[in-house]
């Protein structure tokens, strides 16, 4: 009898990558592979890379070196966004056996059947314009929360972003298939689904990117609301121009869609937003926040913001700071701009010195801390529902309120993976 082969994964980057790794792992397990931890010895190692992370190349090299030290005979496969963007660079890393681009990622099982340890790495990749089709994915870490990918790729051309080059045009799953996945997840005891995509609000473009289903994100959430067994949904991140009044009002009415939005702003200066090629101005953003807070005063709003984009002057940064300060938002995710090959932003001058980028990052992180404190203080005394995770750490368990406040309390088995009424202290 043939020996059972084992596989271990390592994921870099975003929730989408985590959900895809999870699906790749289930695919290979179904093909007969035994799943191992990355720290263990395995016959095959798969690294799912990210293009947003700084030093993707360095991280990848380090991971491959670690594998070579502990298991020099094992096969090493690199996939994900960075593998699509820089296949040759990755193939040149000593010890890499196979590089899989965006189109080939989900064919990993077939590739592994033919792969043997050799001298140089094989590359299986195509131009990103030719990538089509949609592979649905979801992660199941514990049963409490799962990330369900419903959309992939992006048709926007933001000046700082490489994601469209790494993931291709905007494509989505069909509503029917998403509902089927949600039912499967409900059947396996999952309580909360986080809807995930690259440009989630653009949901509705077919697997070839051009064809429109008679479907939209608004329709998707209305149908998901009816799936039995799922207690909660969250919308992972949605562009402000695509977050319509209809969607906001539906979330306000729904018992299952949580009062929580994550809306990228990127800059509070209209001039910088224009250079970034974003599809809105700050006035639209402020209006969306107002609509949300009018219908759901308790709603959590998270904001992505980039500091140090080329041409961002002290005046622009102050505009951003004051704009964020004035908005009724709950927390920020602050990113420091860093140069990426083949992006439009490289043509914009002047470049912001690195130390200034870091200072600005610090100032906004400080603002985020204050916003979160204030938001939590506003909720004091309110009773909110907390979904506790089935995980003990130093005798404690953790969970989130519907409006995304993190709660920590001594572990109680009967609360694990359950929704519990909780008064905010």
Q: Does 209 bind ligand SF4 (CB under 6 A)?
A: no
CB of 308 to ligand SF4, least distance (A): 16
CA distance 139 to 147: 5
CB of 277 to ligand SF4, least distance (A): 8
Nearer to ligand SF4, 53 or 199 (CB): 199
With CB under 6 A as the contact rule, the residue among 23, 199, 216, 403 that binds ligand SF4 is: 199
Is 419:191 a contact under the CB 8 Å cutoff?
Answer: yes
* C-alpha count within 13 angstroms, C-beta hemisphere, residue 401: 21
Nearer to ligand SF4, 81 or 108 (CB): 81
CB of 254 to ligand SF4, least distance (A): 25
CB of 87 to ligand SF4, least distance (A): 21
Q: Does 164 bind ligand SF4 (CB under 6 A)?
A: yes
With CB under 6 A as the contact rule, the residue among 63, 102, 148, 198 that binds ligand SF4 is: 198
Nearer to ligand SF4, 10 or 282 (CB): 282
Q: Does 81 bind ligand SF4 (CB under 6 A)?
A: no
Nearer to ligand SF4, 49 or 199 (CB): 199
Q: Does 50 bind ligand SF4 (CB under 6 A)?
A: no
Site string for ligand SF4, 226-265 (x = CB under 6 A): -------------x--------------------------
| The residue count for the chain | 425
Is 348:310 a contact under the CB 8 Å cutoff?
Answer: yes
- Asked if residue 350 has a cis previous peptide bond (ω within 30° of 0), the answer is yes
Q: Does 158 bind ligand SF4 (CB under 6 A)?
A: yes
Cα angle value 304/306/312 (rounded, 5°): 145
With CB under 6 A as the contact rule, the residue among 44, 161, 166, 175 that binds ligand SF4 is: 161
As given in the structure block, the two tokens for residue 72 are 């020099």
Q: Is 217 exposed, middle or buried (0-12, 13-18, 19+ CB in 10 A)?
A: buried
CA distance 391 to 377: 27
Please state, in angstroms and as integers, the Cα–Cα distance from residue 143 to each residue in 132, 182, 185, 230, 411, following that order: 31, 13, 9, 11, 17
Contact set with ligand SF4 (CB under 6 A)? 154, 156, 158, 161, 163-164, 198-199, 239
């Amino acid at each position: 009898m043939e020996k059972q082969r084992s596989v271990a994964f390592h994921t870099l980057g975003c929730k989408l990558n985590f959900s895809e790794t999870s699906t790749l792992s289930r695919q290979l397990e179904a093909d007969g592979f035994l799943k191992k931890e990355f720290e263990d010895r395995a016959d095959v190692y798969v690294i799912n890379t990210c293009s947003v992370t700084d030093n993707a190349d360095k991280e990848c090299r380090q991971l491959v070196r670690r594998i070579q030290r502990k298991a020099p005979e094992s096969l090493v496969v690199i996939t994900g966004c960075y593998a699509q963007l820089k296949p040759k660079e990755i193939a040149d890393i000593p010890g890499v056996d196979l590089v899989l681009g965006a189109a080939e990622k989900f064919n990993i099982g077939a590739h592994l059947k033919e792969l043997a340890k050799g001298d140089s790495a094989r590359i299986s990749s195509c131009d990103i314009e030719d990538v089509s089709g949609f592979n649905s994915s979801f992660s199941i870490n514990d049963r409490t929360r799962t990330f369900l990918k419903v959309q992939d790729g992006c048709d926007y051309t933001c000046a700082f972003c490489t994601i469209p080059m790494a993931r291709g045009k905007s494509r989505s799953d069909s509503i029917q298939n998403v509902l089927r996945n949600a039912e499967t997840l409900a059947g396996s005891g999952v309580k909360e689904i986080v809807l995930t995509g690259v440009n989630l609000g653009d949901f509705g473009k077919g697997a070839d990117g051009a064809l429109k289903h008679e479907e939209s994100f608004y329709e998707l959430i209305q149908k998901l609301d009816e799936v039995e067994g799922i207690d909660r949904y969250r919308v992972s991140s949605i562009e402000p121009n695509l977050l319509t009044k209809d969607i906001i009002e539906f979330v306000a009415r729904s018992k299952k869609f949580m009062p929580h939005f994550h809306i990228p702003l990127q800059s509070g200066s209209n001039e910088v937003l224009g250079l970034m090629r974003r599809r809105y101005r700050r006035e639209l953003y402020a209006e969306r926040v107002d609509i949300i807070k009018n219908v759901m005063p308790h709603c959590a709003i998270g904001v992505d913001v980039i500091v140090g984009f080329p041409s961002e002057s002290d005046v622009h940064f102050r505009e951003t700071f004051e704009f964020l300060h004035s908005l009724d938002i709950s927390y920020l995710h602050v990113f420091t701009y860093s140069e990426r090959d083949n992006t439009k932003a490289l043509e914009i001058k002047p470049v912001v010195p690195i130390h200034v980028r870091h200072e600005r990052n610090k100032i906004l992180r400080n603002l985020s801390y204050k916003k979160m404190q204030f938001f939590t203080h506003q909720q004091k005394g309110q009773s909110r529902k907390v979904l506790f995770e089935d995980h003990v750490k130093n005798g404690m368990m953790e969970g989130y309120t519907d409006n995304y406040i993190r709660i920590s309390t001594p572990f109680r088995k009967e609360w694990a993976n359950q929704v519990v009424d909780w008064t905010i202290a």
